[in-house]
A and B are shown apart, each in its own frame.
Chain A
Amino acid sequence: MKAVAWCAPHLVRVEEAPDPAIINPRDAIVRVTSTCICGSDLHLVDGFIPFMKPGDILGHEPMGIVEEVGPAVDPDKIKVGDRVVVPFPIGCGECFFCQRQMWSCCENTNPKPSLGETMHGHATAGIFGYSHLTGGYAGGQAQYLRTPLADVNLQKMPEDLTDDQLVFLSDILPTGWMAAEQADIQPDDTVAIWGCGPVGQFTLRSAVLMGAHRVIAIDDESSVPERMQMAREGGAETIDMNSEDVPYRLFEMTGGLGPDSCIDAVGMESHGYHFLGSVYDRVKTSLMLETERPHAFRQAVKCCRKGGTLSVPGVYGGFADKIPLGAIMNKGLTIKTGQTHVHKYVPKLLDEIRQGRIDPSFVITHRLPLSEAPHGYEIFRKKQDGCIKVVLDPAA
């Protein structure tokens, strides 16, 4: 089959790889019909998550048709021919965490828990195509995908909706929703969102749907004007991080209070605001003394209202410096974060799509054949050609 491979930092190639086979009795093989490139993939390609091996197959946002099932897959749940979305975290459905709908914290699906225990104290769930920290599972930017514990993970989809409407149930639609839900939005609240990438887009629309009084989105007007425009169309006001003083504007818009909830939808590769700030983290990350650049997070802490909530869907992997713990403590902030518990949100969000209240396909700017994935990565990474979200077609 054709698959998108991580060969080295900044080297993504489309290669021939063996078709996946059933390994465990509850595995299934999915023939992928649509698969996307995510901001999380960029962290791998840029070398910010240092647990990739050359030859790893990327991708964690696929959907497709079940092609083969293992002997122990429950036939009442999943059969050959089913149309399914594949959530990016792999759950077991039975452990302490899955039973409490915290699927991305599953205890039983990461084959190499020692890495996570060393780095984080605990291992979290296996994730497709997302480094050996989360199990090293081959990913879904490929023509076929092996999916473990298929009967609890694969999400059956109706036939009358398109791939474009459904594929984002695998990650970014639930991620945006959970980010807004964790922000604990109350009717009179102002919500500020850092980052207008695909995750930010779904977050801001979710915040609007959840009844926020005012939604403010922050990104770089000069480098991603199309994202700022899309944010405004979604019901947000925007602040340009380049030409405007973000904290000043946020305080001014809220009478000095600051936003009630602040959401970091940027993650570990955020751009700095002034020369010294960005140089500090660039130097430290390149020497591997620090693994992330948490500018957006730092600014969100600074701006957030006293007693407010920080929601962090943006991904961090290791250790960051200069986290304003004093501000977090003295202002009494609540922080909520996590890889998305996708399975928890799929039924509700599928229903929203069905009812026509959400049509997630608006974020798609590029449809490419899988063979052009490296080009897709390039324009998505450099925010060129108006790129917001790339969907790959493995059959083309």
Chain B
Amino acid sequence: MSTVVSKLSDKGSINVARTERLISGALGSALLLTALSGRGAKRLTALGVGSALVYRGFTGHCHAYEALGIDTACGATASDLDRVGVEVSECFLVAKPVEDLYRFWRHLGNLPRFMSHLKEVEALDERRSRWTAAAPLVAGGLIQWDAEIVEDIENQRLAWRTLPESSVDHRGSVEFSPAPGERGVYVRVELTYAPPGGQAGRWIAKLFGEAPEQQVRSDLRKFKRLMEAREIPTIEGQSHASCYGLGQLLHS
């Protein structure tokens, strides 16, 4: 837990400071909103998270972790993957029986329901599967790879990685551990992506857009929401008023 908790609180404090600065500079509320929630926010986030990740991707070193005294995720190891990849770890509390959570995840075909960049995961047999991901910047718009389950402990842990001949070097795991009392289950996901030929920055951007950590966090939150609320909340497609055409402009 400690790694994840520290990372979150670190992110929080930086963000608040940025928000306060933004608020100070904002001229109007509509402008502020656009800056925080629209494309602008992604760009701002990209500035921070994106460049830090690419830097970390290339150097295998993470200043934020160093400052926090965390050396788990950033130490270089022998594997290519650890040296130039993106590593993301997120943890959410899910208030449902572990059997349900494990079963849903073990049926890999469910993954695209909450992992937004995945188009399809097709089971080839008990262990092997074919993954198709959307990658808008790649010719054809899709990336495909084959993966195998390398660890499967019922109701506890599931780990997978790409087959050696795949064009993508990816591995991931999900771990289910009991939260105290009746609180449910801690679901921790760890994903590592490494690019072919060491082109970390470009490859990562192709797959995720600019902020893989946020993407994984948002995906795992969707899993939690699917499990707890049985659907993912949205306001997309709801009605809004025109306000002289401004409504259409800002709600699209």
Contact = CB atoms under 8 A, between A and B. Distances in A.
B140 interface: no
Interface string B201-223: 00000000000001000100100
B243 interface: yes
Contacts of B234: 23-24, 111
A366 to B, nearest CB: 23
Contact of A94 (B229, B246, B247): B229
B5 interface: no
B243 A7 contact: yes
Contact of A136 (B18, B23, B235): B235
B228 interface: yes
A257 B23 CA distance: 40
A118 B36 CA distance: 9
B244 A7 contact: yes
A57 B243 CA distance: 10
B221 to A, nearest CB: 7
Contacts of A52: 29-30, 33
A94 B237 contact: no
Contacts of A319: 20, 23
A289 interface: yes
A57 B241 contact: yes
A24 B184 contact: no
B64 interface: no
Interface string A41-55: 000000101111111
Interface in A142-156: 146, 148-149
B251 A118 contact: no
Contact of B233 (A20, A57, A72, A109): A109
User: How many of chain A's residues touch chain B, expressed as a range?
Assistant: 35 or more
Nearest to B94: A95
- Select the residue from B19, B20, B235 with max chain A CB neighbours within 10 A: B235
A50 to B, nearest CB: 4
A169 B163 CA distance: 58
A349 to B, nearest CB: 26
Contacts of B95: 94-96, 99
B236 interface: yes
Contacts of A137: 235, 238
A88 B221 CA distance: 23
B236 A23 contact: yes
B13 to A, nearest CB: 9
A289 B233 contact: no
Interface string A117-151: 11101000010000010011110000000101100
B243 A54 contact: yes
20 contacts: A5-B240, A17-B242, A21-B239, A23-B234, A24-B232, A50-B26, A51-B33, A52-B30, A53-B240, A72-B230, A94-B96, A96-B183, A111-B235, A114-B218, A118-B16, A118-B18, A126-B233, A138-B235, A288-B26, A289-B24
